[in-house]
Structure 1
Amino acid sequence: MGVLSRPLDAQGLPVLTGAGYSEPTTRYAHGVLGDAVEWGALTLTADRCTDCARPDPLRVTIRLSETRVFEDLAPRLVGLDPDRPDMAMVVESDLSQGARLALYAPTGLVAATPFIGQANRWLAPLGAADLDGDGRLEVAYVDRPHLAKTLRIWRLEDDRLTEVAAMPGLANHRIGRDYIEGGLRDCGQGPEMILANGDWTTVQALRFDGTLTARSLGAYSPAAIRAAMACE
């Protein structure tokens, strides 16, 4: 799927410095984000030697097969240490199986959730962090935000993502819009997930400490979501 420009350090994955989609394609006619154009390739840039006197750059392009696309807005740089991201979190869709959440490093695919299982079914990412303080990375997304409206939390362990929590009745995207609302915030008391309830009437803040708990922050509006993300 991708070819390294040179071998990786024996010390492990490099720190990512950038990520972007390329090779636009119309081979998946879904248009959930407002147009018919998706992406066929993901390019990662990295520095394999952040403590060296000179940078040691790496640039890798990962191309999907003709049966898949990146059905997404932009890759998100993630990692257990947010200051040293080592993976890109993306939405990858199969033409017959719909979307999955995937984590890519310059070496290729690290881990992924199962595909939803049906074409034209999508998920909207919230973010990735150590949500419960156990030293392991969790990823969060809303499964089918226009239909199932279910928040799902998965934990990364080695090369596997395992679902650890779910809560229905939540949403972070409206069909046809070219943006996802809310995300992860930390206002000094640990990470919280910000999104709307399923009928778009309230803003919800959720925490995960082994179980999911939610509290309302008041009436929904795009401005209220932005204020919540800014800890206002």
Structure 2
Amino acid sequence: MSAEPDPAPADALPDGRIAVAPIGDIRQAWFARPTRRYAHGVLGDAIEAGSLVVITASGSRLEAILPEDQVFEDITPRIADLDADGNNEVIAIRSSTGGGAGVAIYGLAAGALKLLGAGTENGRPNRWLNIAGFVPRPDGGLTLYGVRTPHIAGKLFSLDFRDGTVSESNDIATDLSNHIIGSRELGMSAVGIFGDSVELVLPSQDRRRLRFPLTSRADIPLPGPIDKAIAVVDGRLITAMEDGTPIVVSP
């Protein structure tokens, strides 16, 4: 398993973490400007973030500040080169008072941290989504997968970012949940190589099965509901049940 990211600075989001990239134009990212202006608490507290901060390869500190009707309903940003152009994007879960949660993509433009694109919001406030993972594309880019309303139905969607444009596909699969309401654990999903293919794995809605919605692989039943992160280690899936009992699965 990878090491836990470093805590964000003292003035950042409480218990937020610093995302780090070893290469590319953006090397670090975290959420800042804690605020209580979005009353949802899906992540277990009433505090969300009002801005995104990055450190560039040259050491510059840049910040994107949200308007009063938006927050980052998230804990740690994700850094990835989604379009394979050699520059990094920062991916976040952004929520608005009018439309709820959606995926927001930031990057460097003209020396500033700018919004490059965004997916559709869930349609109403207090409706959240959780990012599930990034799957490599044949063109070298990455497709983002996520679960809309993981506490209500749990529908898989995908998002691609190419040539500055976002394309999205919804309702790819249902009966999924990669988050428990009120939990700070956002890692209940994983991407790994099993056999000859890269696959996305997520729990079922009741968290009693592991599901592979992008392939024909059968669900794997579990001895009980899980509530811990899913990790891929040497081709095996490692997680744990609510009582802490570890689970190791070889698909």
CA positional deviation for 1:213: 4.2
User: What does residue 232 of structure 2 align with?
Assistant: 229
Is structure 2 residue 179 aligned with structure 1 residue 173?
yes
**Count of residue correspondences:** 204
Residue identity in the other structure for 2:207: W
Give the aligned partner of residue 218 of structure 2.
215
Q: Which runs of 5+ in 1 are unaligned?
A: 1-13, 48-55
Distance 2:163 2:83 in 1: 16
Q: Tell me if 1:42 matches 2:49.
A: no
Distance in 2 (CA, whole Å) between partners of 1:81 and 1:122 is 25
Classify 1:205/1:63 alpha carbon distance in 2 versus 1 (closer, same or farther; 3 Å).
same
Deviation at 1:175, TM superposition (A): 0.5
Asked if the contact 1:73–1:179 (Cα under 8 Å) also holds between the matched residues in 2, the reply is: no
Does the Cα contact within 8 Å between 2:207 and 2:226 map onto a contact in 1? no
Q: What is the TM-score of this pair, normalised by structure 1? A: 0.79
Quote the offset at 1:214 in angstroms.
Answer: 4.8
Q: Equivalents in 2 of 1:198, 1:134: separation in Å?
A: 32
| Structure 1 residues 213 and 67: alpha-carbon distance in aligned structure 2, compared to 1, 3 A threshold | farther
Question: What residue number does 2:156 align with?
Answer: 151
1:50 counterpart residue number: none
SS in 1 for 2:212: strand
User: Aligned runs of 1:89-168 on 2, under 5 Å?
Assistant: 89-107=91-109, 108-130=114-136, 132-164=137-169, 166-168=172-174
Indicate conservation of the 8 Å contact 2:80/2:88, yes or no.
Answer: yes
Cα deviation, residue 182, structure 1: 1.7
Structure 2: stretches of 5+ with no match in the other structure: 1-23, 237-251
1:176-187 equivalences in 2 (<5 Å):
176-180=182-186, 181-186=188-193
Residue by residue, what CA displacement relative to the aligned partner does 1:186-231 show, whole Å, maximum 9, x if unpaired? 4574432121012221012343xxxx545323315538863x5333
Distance in 2 of aligned mates of 1:224 and 1:26:
27
Shift of 1:164: 3.5
Q: 1:147 to 1:18 in 2, by over 3 A?
A: same
Please give the secondary structure, in 1, of the residue aligned with 2:28: strand
Q: In the TM superposition, what whole-angstrom CA distance separates every residue of 1:31-60 from its partner, at most 9, and x where no partner exists?
A: 00000000001001121xxxxxxxx33321
Q: Which has the higher contact order (CA 8 A, sep 6+)?
A: 1
Contact 2:156/2:173 (8 A) holds in 1: yes
DSSP 3-state at the match of 1:142: strand
Partner of 1:59: 61
Q: Is the 8 A contact 2:157 2:168 kept in 1?
A: yes
Runs of 4+ in 1 over 4 A off after TM superposition: none
**2 CA distance for matches of 1:223 and 1:171?**
10
